[in-house]
Amino acid sequence: MVEVTPEIEQQDFELKDEDLKIETSTASGHGGQSVNTTYSAIRLTHLPTNIKVSCQNERSQQQNKATALKILKGRLAKYYEAQAEDERMRLRGELTEAAWGNQIRSYVLHPYKMVKDHRTDYEVHEPEKVLDGELDGFIENYLRSQVK
């Protein structure tokens, strides 16, 4: 079985500041020194894809922002990879397994000689000619079957 598909190159994406919505809030959780008084929690929203990431693990807003950006880049990479895979599947079309019963033609060389096209039921009793490349009869019959 031969499968021909176009090669889709991996696109590197760039996070632009205008594509990000940055929100800050106070960290939630158990009480403690400066937990509910400083705006250290960060929520990033990537506007084109609406992917949201929030982080409040660190004490400083800059550390939380750096962590959230790493997570957002990872999720965006996964998102764009899934989009590329969907495009490959769309271009590839339906896949049939190369297994017994899925063949287009049968070649019988012994005890009798015959080549049969299973799509059109066209038969030839000279398999040597078909094996040498005489396929015009098969092509014509297949095209006729597609016009109907």
Please give the structure tokens belonging to residue 32: 């403690």
**HEC string of 37-72?**
CCCCEEEEEECCCCEEEEECCCCCHHHHHHHHHHHH
**95-136 pLDDT, tens digit each:** 777 777 788 899 999 999 999 999 899 999 999 999 999 999
CATH of the domain at 87: 3.30.160.20
Range of the domain at 21: 17-92
Whether residue 121 sits in one domain with residue 81: no
Closest CA to 120 of 99, 100, 106: 106
pLDDT one digit per residue (tens) for the chain, 148 residues: 565 656 656 567 788 889 999 998 877 766 555 556 677 889 999 999 999 999 988 888 899 999 999 889 888 888 988 988 888 888 877 777 777 778 889 999 999 999 999 989 999 999 999 999 999 999 999 999 988 6
Whether residue 86 sits in one domain with residue 37: yes
Whether residue 130 sits in one domain with residue 84: no
Strand runs (DSSP E) across the chain, as ranges?
Answer: 20-25, 41-46, 51-55, 105-108, 114-117, 123-124
What does R_g of the chain's alpha carbons equal in angstroms? Answer: 30
Q: Which of 92, 113, 132 is the last residue of a domain?
A: 92
Q: Could you tell me the pTM of the whole model?
A: 0.57
Number of domains in the chain: 2
Whether residue 133 sits in one domain with residue 70: no
Rounded-to-integer distance, Cα 115 and Cα 138, Å: 10
Task: Determine the 3-state secondary structure of 100 from DSSP.
Answer: coil
Whether residue 112 sits in one domain with residue 87: no
Whether residue 111 sits in one domain with residue 137: yes
Whether residue 109 sits in one domain with residue 86: no
